[in-house]
Structure 1
Amino acid sequence: MNSFFPNFVDMRRELLPKTVALKLAAATLLIATTACSSQSRLERHMAKAEEHFANGDFRAAEIEYKNALQIDSTVAEAPGQLGLIYFEQGRQRLALPLLSQATQIDPENAKFLGPLLSIRSQIEPPEEVWKTAKDLLAKDPANQYALSALQSSAMKLGRADEARSILENLASQGNSAGATTALAMLDASSGNLDAAVAILERAIQIDPSYSLAHLAKANLLWAKKDLEAAEKSFSAASAGTAVKPNIILAHAQFKLQTGNQQDAKAILERVAANYPDFVPGLLARARLFTIEGSTDDALELTKRAEQLDPMSPEIAILASQLDLRVGDAASAINRMKIVTQRYPNFAGGHYALSLALIADDQPLQASSSLLKTLSLQSDHIGAILALSNLEIGQGDFGSAEARLLKAVEIAPDNHQASLLLAKGYALEKNFSKALELYLSLAEKIPNDPALPYQAALVQMELGDSDIARKSLETSLERNPAYIPALEQVLLLDASENNFEIASDRLAPLIKKEPDSAILQFLSGKLALAQNDSQAGIYRLKRALSLDPTLRPASYALAQAFLAVGNLEEAQEILNAVIAANPEDLEAIFSLGNLYEESSDYTTAMEHYNTVLNIDSNHYKALNNLAYLLSNESGDIEGAYSMALRARELAPNDPAVADTLGWIAYLRGDFAFARDLLLESSKKMEAPLIFYHLAKVYVALDMIAEAKTTLEGAISLGLPDEEADDAKALIQNL
């Protein structure tokens, strides 16, 4: 048989043409050579990559691992190490697929499984995280990522006792600082901070260099408000050369949030020098630049972060915030719409979109985004506050109140919720509740001048001017240059003719800041209150030369020009303000006031109607229009309806009470008119109020009161027409 069938290989060689045989031989050699060449190139790139990785040169290592992946994607080390680089740099979305690929190739490699679990624990159901953490701890009992994931998932699943048993067993077997730290965090998550700190001290005794134990202790001490001890623990956590940048970053955040901005900046610069591509560090520095007002530097760092991690929603959020800072709401909206389309279940993206929509004056769309945020994360404090603020602005305090009470319960130390509640109660005329909150907050935040000032405004609404003055003085003790309180106390001083006291308040502030537009404005107002028109106009002009956008100074200057009979210049000032902002309600209202003062009642009413078309609740426009309708148009019932609405909106304003009282007199409701005008006259000594009250006394046949009140009105300086009528009435009484 062997003789019958010759050697097949030999026969094939004989049958093949010589050229073909030569080509096959060459191809075989080429394949072998190529395989050898690819393998050697792979080994060369991997060797270089590992050397760069070991030296901390992640940029060079990244390039070499990418080169290795192009040659052979089936070697776990290449995608795994590249994933670790991205993980260490905070580029989690880039790390996730690479670490997944590495663990599919090598399912037992704990070096990659730990970081992969750390990422997945943020996005996967807690049940899966729990199971994976237990499996990984069986392979690697000291794996810090698995220990942390076990502890956090246990709290979500209500398995603290089971987790404690596992961790205690691990700690007893290997005296593990990591397991002991995880045990401490179980206690911390249950609210037992003192016990947690004690356990962490035990972990530190086991391994004094275990930075995660120091970091956990620092955060717990911070929560306990022991800032000095927290600082020591943060310093211990971030000491040494092998500390991860996220731990150093935590120290910087502590410094920043406890008011030590310069130290925070120095720490962040250290992170930048040692870890130039650490994305969270870039973002932290960008935020710090934003706080400092260095928007260009913040933008540059944000762009660098975007280049490193283009899919990161957190970077997009910061970029949108910077867009808003430079007034580009449209870019912020577009940027965040992309994020919400890409990550529809990311609450932070919807919240950032809502802020951009608010900035672009789109409240309905913003409300929709905020509701979406809360549907994804019901305890999102920022969304609760923003939505409540919108609802309060839209007059829906009922919905806002429920949310804000929940926010106070969730985050009792977040005072913004209480502030919004106080604001809402004040708008609802529930002044007692508003005052209670403002006074409580003023005690909790002893250095904030705004809180006693807000309390003073409520106290004035309640008619307690003496107590309000004390609150204003408290505000100015906290900050003598706090303008809102200063302006209010100057108004009180002027109303009581305490001009010398008022001048003494302003003088040292102006001496310190002679180029302060707002101080020049207040000085001008004070001069006008003393009937010194020349000084008042000069100072108001000075204020506007320092800040042409200071609209209250424009309004006051227009009124000052009107007072000296210069109607044309007064109108010119207000028309310039309206030209810059056609919906400037105060400018339109003030211009209407000018026309009323100059007896052009038709044009005045047109301006008041324009104000009400923009804001139907502008009580001053309602009040003035009601007065003109009753006196000039004879529309008593229409005037009465408007005056009632103004009274509802401003129940403690003496001018509003005077208008409603006068219209009630014209309607023949003398008792109601008397009550209103008496109330008004006690709050403000104005000749027309006294004149109106006297007319009511005459109608009620209260002759003695009428005569005394008429004499008082004349002495205060009644306009000529009303003065002649008052004198005639006195003669006829």
Structure 2
Amino acid sequence: MSSRKQSLVRLVLTVCLLALLAGIVNCSGEDAEKLFQQGIDAMTANNQDEAVIWFKKALQQNSEMALAHYKLGEVYHKKGDIKLAFAELNRAIQQDPKLHEARKELAFLLVENRALDQAVNVCKQYLEINGDDEDIYLILGNSLAYTRKVDEAVDILKKGQTIYPDNTTLEMNLAKILVIKGDVAEGRSMMEKLAAREQDNITIQIALAQMYEKLERYDLAVMTLEASKEKFPQNPLPYFSLAQLALKKNQPENAKTIILDAEKIGIKDSRLYRMYAMISHRQGNSEDALAFFKKGVDVATDETRTVNQMILADYHTFLKNYKEAQNILESIIAEDGSKKKLKSKVVELFMAQGEFDQARTSVDSLLKEDSSDARGHFLKGLMMMQDKDVAEARKEFSKAKELAPNAAENQFLYGLTFMNESEQISITEISEALKKNPNLFKARLALAELYVKKGEFQQSLDELDTILSRQGDTDKLKKAIGKDADIIKVRALRIAILMKMNKPEVALEDAKLLVKTKPSDSAHIFRLAEIFYSMKKFDNALPLYEKLRLEKPESVKLLNRIVGVYMLKKNFERALEEVDTFLAKFPGNGTATVIKAKIYISQGHTDLAENVLVPEAVKGKDAAAIVMLAELCRNKKDNEKAVIYYKKALDLVPENVGIRMQLADLYLQSGQNSEAIESYENVLKVKADFLPAMNNLAFLYSEESKNLDRALELANEVARKLPENPDVADTLGWIYILKNVYSQAEPYMQQAIGAKPNHPVIMYHMAMLRYGQKNQQEAEKLIKGAIEKGLTGEALIDAKETLSAIIQSNERLFAATVEKDKGNADKAIVMLEEIQKSEGFNCEAAAYLGMLYAEQSKDITIALELAQKAYDTQPDNPLMADALGWVYYYQGSLLMAKQYVEQAIEKDEKFAPAHVHLGAVYIKKGEPVAARKELETSKSLKLSASDEKRVEKLLSELEN
């Protein structure tokens, strides 16, 4: 084929391809328009779900179709899908800023959802881009007023009224806002003139009455509303407003009469019936309330029927008529497909009825249909929590939190899932939830309880006080406590915290309030008695305990308290009488027998106590009696018998951690470390996170110098839970010392000795740390201090051995320094090298040896290594700094020499060798005046014979 012919073919193909593409584009455009129109038709037929499908299809064909985004947003708005509506309307505006319908729809959406600051911005953009609109002026003015920008609101409404002088709504709202601003005369005059001019407009007449009510001119408000009743005899609004006014004046019966009068003349209005129902509810007449809520549904219009049905369903739920509520919600969903969100409420009702299988099935179906249903994920999370599947619950709450980030309850329950893993994460998440909803009672109470677990009592108290402060004044609070068990729980927890904080006087006021509110509640009375008891106000406590005993004569707890009062009052005879009377009524009560034994023990009659307890031990039924016998044996130093009794008690209550700890502690105190280790390990088998057992076990393993890895694991866990405890820090530090990891031991031992500077064991452990760090001078001082403070046992033996080794080392070091000071450098070097060889490393010996190596022109590198290591080990010792500087002097590094020698003087200005060495440095640097000053200073201090010779030699150098 010729090239010309080929070119022609290519041209034809290109033209055809372009034509085909053009056809496709035109086809796509036509399809998008058709699909959009079908969406409009579906909207007209009130088929919202179908409309959504068509608009989405149109957007698939043309994603830049602003009108489709607008209409989709409008449908979502009607369906109540706020987030989706907001997104689509925003897209429409972005694609076509002049699409005023979309911006106006967005303004309405924002106002309805109380996003008033955003509404203000959207309205201002509308006026700037799309021009004037009376609805926009009204929305903007009201939004500004609600966001407390009243002056700007007045200006906007005045401007709108100027442009639209016939718009009575603008004028009416302007009058209201003038009153809010404080321009009462102007606002009232404007409203009165408007009402006089628009006598056939009931909305304006009602607005005038509401203004009078706000200004507390109730007479004028009633007169205006009565006139409206006459003029609009079949309109429910005047009756509704009159009933509201009666309620405001605390006249509920009058309000009900007004509503019934309206009904008598044929006015059947759902709002009036709902008001009547609420009044009846507040009066405690739930039957009447339910009847009127039902009437509200019966007379509702098509537009208000669903709302009234939902209110009725909520009231059925309140009355625990869950089946009736479920039937109503299911009928709403069946009638209106746009109410699918109510399915989550149906799930809640299944849960309330205990039909958890049905609830699970329903929530799974709901999430399969719509995985973006935040409430569905929340409810599934609740079910997972009920099944104790915390990991799955956390996933569901996390999803709910992601889908509804502003829902405080989602974040609260998400945080709650961390309670047993990380209290801090729980606290952080719940605190964030409370920022979103400060009134979320359960979250604040949970936060208070978390702070109690952490021992942060004041923070817990602050949260509880916040809860109580939100309940209003004292009278309202008393009523709330009377009706609300949760508030009682708050008060009870507050009392418990105050008692832990040793503030019984403050707790007493809360306890009295609870008793005053519910005088017959035994728990409140007992709490009050306990506070009096702790305050040693026994005459106040005793009558309360005795009053409670009339209700519960079999209560051993009350017997114990009553006996305790008499014992503290030294009335032992009456105490015994109380127990004997109780045992006569309830013979064979082991706990009462234990109480009797305690009375004998308190008087020193241990033999009588033993006589009482032995029969109980023989029966082998009461562990408390057997444990008390064990303690009696222990006090008599009969540890062997005590062990038998403890073990017998454990046969009865093998899970009792307290008894296991007593047995382990007995072994520990009697020096039976192997048995103690086994017993503490048994405690941890029962309660794996029991900190006292973990700490003692870590200590024992370290004392035995075996299984140090297990000791470290236990000690680290205890330290994580009790980071401020000095004993825990000491145990952990000691384990690191035994493992020769001195850098890790340092911070823990510093913490321990900082808190307990005179504790002999901690002083000994710190001494061994310093000894391990080759700081013998500090180690010696600490060991002597520990012995003086009463160090005992194996630690004392080890301390004395270490002290003996340090003394011997010091003697050898002293002998070497004597030779050095005499000028016998070679002999001193041999002696110092022997010390280093026998001890591994001795700081002072290394310092002297480094200086001698330098002075005797031996290996300067080794000299520097020795001096540097000595300095690194004891940086605060002037000898080490001076030695390092002197070695640098011989190396020829005068700058480094001066730095370290001056550092030695800073640490101890009376350290004579450093002044000598600094003088030598200044001579080498050519600074004779400074050199002479340092050398003269050294002569005024204590110098060795060899240093005296060096000073004279250096001074003679200066003379020459």
TM-score of the pair, normalised by structure 2? 0.43
CA separation in 2, counterparts of 1:177 and 1:299? 52
C-alpha deviations, 1:604-635, integer Å up to 9, x for none? 977689699966799xx9xxxxxxxxxxxxxx
Q: Does 1:388 align with 2:448?
A: yes
Q: Does 1:96 align with 2:86?
A: yes
Give 2:582's match in structure 1, choosing from 498, 502, 510. 498
CA positional deviation for 1:194: 1.6
Number of the residue aligned with 2:457: 397
Give 2:383's match in structure 1, choosing from 322, 326, 334. 322
Relative to structure 1, the CA distance from residue 432 to residue 152 in structure 2 (aligned partners, 3 Å threshold; closer, same or farther) is farther
Contact 2:668 2:676 in 1 (8 A): no
Q: Does 1:154 align with 2:146?
A: yes
Counterpart residue identity of residue 116, structure 1:
L
CA separation in 2, counterparts of 1:473 and 1:456? 15
**Match of 2:388, SS?**
coil
CA separation in 1, counterparts of 2:309 and 2:294? 9
Give 1:467's match in structure 2, choosing from 541, 544, 562. 544
Structure 2: unaligned runs, 5 residues or longer: 1-10, 154-175, 181-186, 215-240, 472-476, 481-485, 563-577, 588-611, 631-641, 697-960
Give 1:331's match in structure 2, choosing from 382, 387, 392. 392
Contact 1:348 1:373 in 2 (8 A): yes
CA separation in 2, counterparts of 1:227 and 1:40? 55
CA separation in 1, counterparts of 2:530 and 2:54? 67
Q: Does 1:288 align with 2:349?
A: yes
Contact 2:350 2:358 in 1 (8 A): yes
Number of the residue aligned with 1:730: none
Contact 2:347 2:363 in 1 (8 A): yes
C-alpha deviations, 1:16-70, integer Å up to 9, x for none? x9999999999999888876666555444543454362xxxx5555434534554
Number of the residue aligned with 2:312: 251
CA positional deviation for 1:119: 5.4
Structure 1: unaligned runs, 5 residues or longer: 1-16, 504-527, 541-554, 578-586, 622-733
The 5 A counterparts of 1:440-589 are 440-441=513-514, 444=517, 450-452=523-525, 454-455=527-528, 457-458=530-531, 461=534, 463=538, 464-471=541-548, 488=557, 495=579, 497-498=581-582, 571=650, 574-575=653-654, 577=655, 587-589=656-658
Relative to structure 1, the CA distance from residue 73 to residue 172 in structure 2 (aligned partners, 3 Å threshold; closer, same or farther) is farther
Number of the residue aligned with 1:235: 294
Counterpart residue identity of residue 110, structure 2:
L
Number of the residue aligned with 2:660: 591
Number of matched pairs: 536
Q: Does 1:408 align with 2:468?
A: yes
Greater shift, 127-136 or 587-596, is seen at 127-136
Number of the residue aligned with 1:194: 248
CA positional deviation for 1:72: 6.2
Q: Does 1:51 align with 2:45?
A: yes
Relative to structure 1, the CA distance from residue 313 to residue 393 in structure 2 (aligned partners, 3 Å threshold; closer, same or farther) is same
C-alpha deviations, 1:565-597, integer Å up to 9, x for none? 99777545654x4xxxxxxxxx22133457899
Counterpart residue identity of residue 430, structure 2:
L
Give 1:139's match in structure 2, choosing from 128, 135, 141. 135
Q: Does 1:431 align with 2:504?
A: yes
Contact 1:316 1:335 in 2 (8 A): yes
CA positional deviation for 1:467: 0.6
CA separation in 1, counterparts of 2:467 and 2:306? 33
Contact 1:46 1:78 in 2 (8 A): no
CA separation in 1, counterparts of 2:665 and 2:281? 61
Number of the residue aligned with 1:689: none
Q: Does 1:175 align with 2:202?
A: yes
The 5 A counterparts of 1:565-644 are 571=650, 574-575=653-654, 577=655, 587-592=656-661
Contact 1:126 1:156 in 2 (8 A): no
Contact 1:42 1:71 in 2 (8 A): no
CA positional deviation for 1:371: 3.3
**Match of 2:507, SS?**
helix
CA separation in 2, counterparts of 1:489 and 1:530? 25
C-alpha deviations, 1:369-393, integer Å up to 9, x for none? 2333445555544443222222233
Relative to structure 1, the CA distance from residue 152 to residue 288 in structure 2 (aligned partners, 3 Å threshold; closer, same or farther) is farther
Contact 2:32 2:58 in 1 (8 A): no
**Match of 1:357, SS?**
coil
Greater shift, 306-315 or 128-137, is seen at 128-137
**Match of 1:278, SS?**
helix
Counterpart residue identity of residue 449, structure 2:
N
Greater shift, 324-333 or 427-436, is seen at 427-436
CA positional deviation for 1:118: 4.8
C-alpha deviations, 1:357-406, integer Å up to 9, x for none? 22x34212222223334455555444432222222333322233233223
CA positional deviation for 1:116: 1.5
Number of the residue aligned with 1:680: none
Share of identical aligned residues, percent? 16
Counterpart residue identity of residue 393, structure 2:
A
Higher relative contact order (CA 8 A, sep 6+): 1
Contact 1:354 1:369 in 2 (8 A): yes
Contact 2:35 2:54 in 1 (8 A): no
Contact 1:401 1:421 in 2 (8 A): yes
Counterpart residue identity of residue 368, structure 1:
T
Relative to structure 1, the CA distance from residue 140 to residue 122 in structure 2 (aligned partners, 3 Å threshold; closer, same or farther) is closer
CA positional deviation for 1:355: 1.6
Relative to structure 1, the CA distance from residue 303 to residue 132 in structure 2 (aligned partners, 3 Å threshold; closer, same or farther) is farther
C-alpha deviations, 1:464-495, integer Å up to 9, x for none? 24413534767x8xxx9xxxx97746878995
Relative to structure 1, the CA distance from residue 304 to residue 431 in structure 2 (aligned partners, 3 Å threshold; closer, same or farther) is farther
CA separation in 1, counterparts of 2:280 and 2:455? 42
CA positional deviation for 1:129: 8.9
CA positional deviation for 1:326: 1.9
CA separation in 1, counterparts of 2:121 and 2:88? 20
CA positional deviation for 1:281: 2.3
Larger C-alpha radius of gyration, 1 or 2?
2
Q: Does 1:63 align with 2:53?
A: yes
Contact 2:276 2:292 in 1 (8 A): yes
Contact 1:127 1:153 in 2 (8 A): no
Give 1:355's match in structure 2, choosing from 400, 404, 416. 416
Relative to structure 1, the CA distance from residue 96 to residue 406 in structure 2 (aligned partners, 3 Å threshold; closer, same or farther) is same
CA positional deviation for 1:421: 1.6
Contact 2:373 2:403 in 1 (8 A): no
Relative to structure 1, the CA distance from residue 75 to residue 278 in structure 2 (aligned partners, 3 Å threshold; closer, same or farther) is same
Counterpart residue identity of residue 418, structure 1:
R
CA positional deviation for 1:424: 1.3
Q: Please provide the CA RMSD for this pair.
A: 6.3
Number of the residue aligned with 2:803: none
Contact 2:32 2:57 in 1 (8 A): no
Relative to structure 1, the CA distance from residue 331 to residue 432 in structure 2 (aligned partners, 3 Å threshold; closer, same or farther) is same
Q: Does 1:278 align with 2:339?
A: yes
Number of the residue aligned with 2:100: 107
Number of the residue aligned with 1:583: none
Contact 2:617 2:625 in 1 (8 A): no
Relative to structure 1, the CA distance from residue 594 to residue 32 in structure 2 (aligned partners, 3 Å threshold; closer, same or farther) is closer
**Match of 1:395, SS?**
coil
CA positional deviation for 1:175: 2.2
Contact 2:545 2:561 in 1 (8 A): no
Relative to structure 1, the CA distance from residue 105 to residue 398 in structure 2 (aligned partners, 3 Å threshold; closer, same or farther) is same
